[in-house]
Amino acid sequence: METVFIDGAVFQYIDLIRVALSEEDNTQRLQAIKNVKHDVVASRLELLLDEGDGDWMSAPKNTEFVAGMAKSAPARHEAIYEFMQTARRYEGENGHGNERKLNIAEHIGKSVWLSIREGKLQGVQVVGGILQQVSDAAREFGISGARDKDALRNIWKRYRGVVHLGMAMDLCGDDPKAGTGVLDLAERIRRDLSENCPRGKSKPYVDASEQICFVGKSRV
């Protein structure tokens, strides 16, 4: 299992972290998250330049900081460019990008989590199981991309290790009191998915080795 630490500054960009999770695998996702963090640094530097008095760059106490920022500038520029590619894949063309796949995976995740919380512990891929239920609902309501059970199986397999963050964000919604509690809820969901098995099975819904854990980190 991989762990990603998110401090207060990065948390303000939590929507971009979710975009990063839309990549194909955890290696790409972790790199995309690093790119988001570079973007955060770039944005904060831009704000500092806008609000500075013009003399702070030449102040002795800031010399080392300025030199370090200059040295790392190429890496930041490359990271921002790479994340733009991630965003393009996320959006896709005519709504057929990775965003739709991630949305579908998070919907499946919600169905799994609800089954856990209700004590039903339904199977995912069995006849009449959660994937079948999602497929049937998609057909009933005309939801494209979620009608084919094989497609759903592939989507769930690809994203099941990261759905907990988007699920928590959606469940918290626009609640101004949620704050970084989103990360606490995401962790609760992650544990539920990795510590519970479908009824009659010995393997959890999601193996912990597939997951990315998100942990709040104070800058102090």
pLDDT tens readout for residues 145-172: 667 888 899 999 999 999 999 999 999 8
Rounded to whole angstroms, how far apart are CA atoms 86 and 156? 20
Confidence of residue 45 (pLDDT cuts 50, 70, 90): low
pLDDT, average across residues 94-121: 93
pTM for this entry: 0.84
Q: Give the model's pLDDT for residue 139.
A: 77
Rounded to whole angstroms, how far apart are CA atoms 5 and 118? 31
Cβ proximity of 184 and 171 under 8 Å: no
- Domains held by the chain: number: 1
Q: In 3D, which of 140, 190, 186, 130 has the Cα closest to residue 161? A: 190
Q: Which two tokens stand for residue 212?
A: 């990315």
Q: Which domain holds residue 136?
A: 2-216
Res. 180: pLDDT tops 90: no
